[in-house]
Chain A
Amino acid sequence: EAAVTQSPRNKVAVTGGKVTLSCNQTNNHNNMYWYRQDTGHGLRLIHYSYGAGSTEKGDIPDGYKASRPSQENFSLILELATPSQTSVYFCASGGRRGGADEQYFGPGTRLTVL
C-alpha cells in the first residue's frame, strides 16, 4: 500500500516564528500536495508539485512556501506563522490508479500557533 508520512505530527509555534512541515512518500509518485483542513472548509489546497524542483500555487498560497528537493520529499514552510494558520495540515501524493491520478494522504500534522 502507498505510504505517506508527515512530521511532526503535532506542533506548537509562536506568532512570527518559522515553521517547517515535512512530508515523505515512498510511492515514487510524481505529484505531491499540501492541504489544510478546518471545520466548515473541507480540504483546501495550498501548494502542489509535479516533480522534484517544481512547486505550484494552489487555492490559498498566501503565507506559505513549498519546497520539493527530491521525488520523495515535499515541505511546507511558514516563514512568519500567524494564529490564523492554526489548522490540521495534510500531505498527499498522487499516483495513477484506474486511469486517473488518485491521492494518498498522510496522517496529518496538527499545528497550533499561539
Chain B
Amino acid sequence: QQKVQQSPESLSVPEGGMASLNCTSSDRNFQYFWWYRQHSGEGPKALMSIFSDGDKKEGRFTAHLNKASLHVSLHIRDSQPSDSALYFCAASPNSNNRIFFGDGTQLVVKP
C-alpha cells in the first residue's frame, strides 16, 4: 500500500493567502522527509528537507515534522501565483535509501 499519503489532493488559495499541505506516513522507519515541487512541464525539484521534530522555516515556507505521529506539513504564507504547482511529500528510512513519494497535492494560487 501507499507508504506516504497526502491531503488534500487539490487546494485553491487566493493570492496572499496561506496554503497548508499535509502528509502522513505509514512506516515508522521513516526518518527523513522532504517536500518536492513540480511546476507544469518540468521535473520535480526539492523544496525543503526536514529531519528533526519541530518547525523549519525557509522564507515564506515552513515545514513541520512530528515523528511520533508520522505527520509532516508544509505551510506557505503570502502565497503567490508562481507557487501554483504539484507538491510531493517524500520520505526515506535512512540517509542513503530510495525515497518514497506521495501522490501529490495540486496547489492553485488565484490572483
- Residues of A participating in the B interface, judged by any CB pair closer than 8 Å: 4, 31, 33, 40-43, 45, 48, 58, 90, 92, 94, 96-108
**CB distance A101 to B96 under 8 Å?**
yes
How long is the Cα–Cα vector from A41 to B102 in the complex, in angstroms? 9
Contacts known (A90-B44, A105-B44); A100 close to B95, Cβ less than 8 A: yes
How long is the Cα–Cα vector from A95 to B44 in the complex, in angstroms? 15
Among B43, B94, B104, the residue within 8 A (CB) of A108 is: B43
9 A-B pairs with CB atoms under 8 Å apart are A40-B103, A90-B43, A101-B92, A102-B46, A103-B44, A103-B99, A104-B46, A105-B44, A108-B43
Q: Considering the complex, give the chain B residue whose CB is closest to the CB of A4.
A: B43
How long is the Cα–Cα vector from A48 to B100 in the complex, in angstroms? 13
B28 at the interface (CB under 8 A from A): no
Number of A-B contacts (CB under 8 A): 58
Q: Please classify the interface of chain A as helix (H, G, I), strand (E, B), loop, or mixed, using the class held by over half of its residues.
A: strand
How long is the Cα–Cα vector from A103 to B90 in the complex, in angstroms? 10
**CB distance B49 to A97 under 8 Å?**
yes
B61 at the interface (CB under 8 A from A): no
**CB distance A42 to B102 under 8 Å?**
yes
Contacts known (A33-B98, A101-B96); A43 close to B46, Cβ less than 8 A: no
Among A31, A43, A97, the residue within 8 A (CB) of B88 is: A43
How long is the Cα–Cα vector from A4 to B46 in the complex, in angstroms? 14
**CB distance B101 to A100 under 8 Å?**
no
